Amino acid sequence: MALIKSVRGFTPQFGNNVYLTENATVIGDVIMGDDCSIWFQAVVRGDVNSIRIGNMVNIQDGAVIHCTFERTSTQIGDRVSIGHRAIVHGCTLHDHVLIGMGAIVMDNAIVESNCLIAAGAVVLENTRCESGHIYAGVPARKVKAVSPELFEDSIGRIAQAYLKYSGWFK
């Protein structure tokens, strides 16, 4: 069973049809929507501030979701995929976002809807990633616009796939 831990009077809350692997960790002021999954060795740590997660979000193996005490909370919209070993810290991810493997999104960054952050990219503090684009590099820069069809094919397909994968383990 996943490690679910209360801290500072906050206990994580989960929507319907949520899957947590046996070694996932969810702590404190975390509220998660429906049809979400948190995978092996991922950590969602709402000990120092709040973390709000929408519907159909997958947090893949080894990813870390955290925030900054008394400064930044973390907000994650619907149909968001957070890749293996990514770090999402004190920022806002709108709906239909893909955070690539090993990417880092820092405090007060805003990733607008239909945005893809490439594997290994580093989105610096206070950066705004514009909807409909791919961001890559260190620091992350807008590299190209992508059609809504391609976003649906990548972001939508991955979100749906992880919902299916979690069903294999239930």
pLDDT tens, 44-94?
A: 999 999 999 999 999 999 999 999 999 999 999 999 999 999 999 999 999
pLDDT over 90 at 146, yes or no: no
Burial of 162 (0-12, 13-18, 19+ CB in 10 A): buried
DSSP conformational letter for 73: -
The residues spanned by each domain of the chain are 3-169
Distance CA(43)–CA(64), nearest Å, equals: 5
Q: Are 1 and 22 in contact (CB under 8 A)?
A: yes
Please enumerate in sequence order all residues whose Cβ is within 8 A of that of 65, keeping only pairs 6 or more positions apart, or say none.
42, 43, 44, 45, 51, 53, 59, 74, 76, 82, 88, 89
Predicted pLDDT at 1:
87
Mean pLDDT of the chain: 96
Predicted TM-score (pTM) of the model is: 0.96
- What's the CATH architecture for 3-169? 3 Solenoid (2.160)
Q: What is the mean pLDDT of residues 122-136?
A: 97
Q: Which two tokens stand for residue 47?
A: 């000990």
pLDDT over 90 at 153, yes or no: no
pLDDT over 90 at 5, yes or no: yes
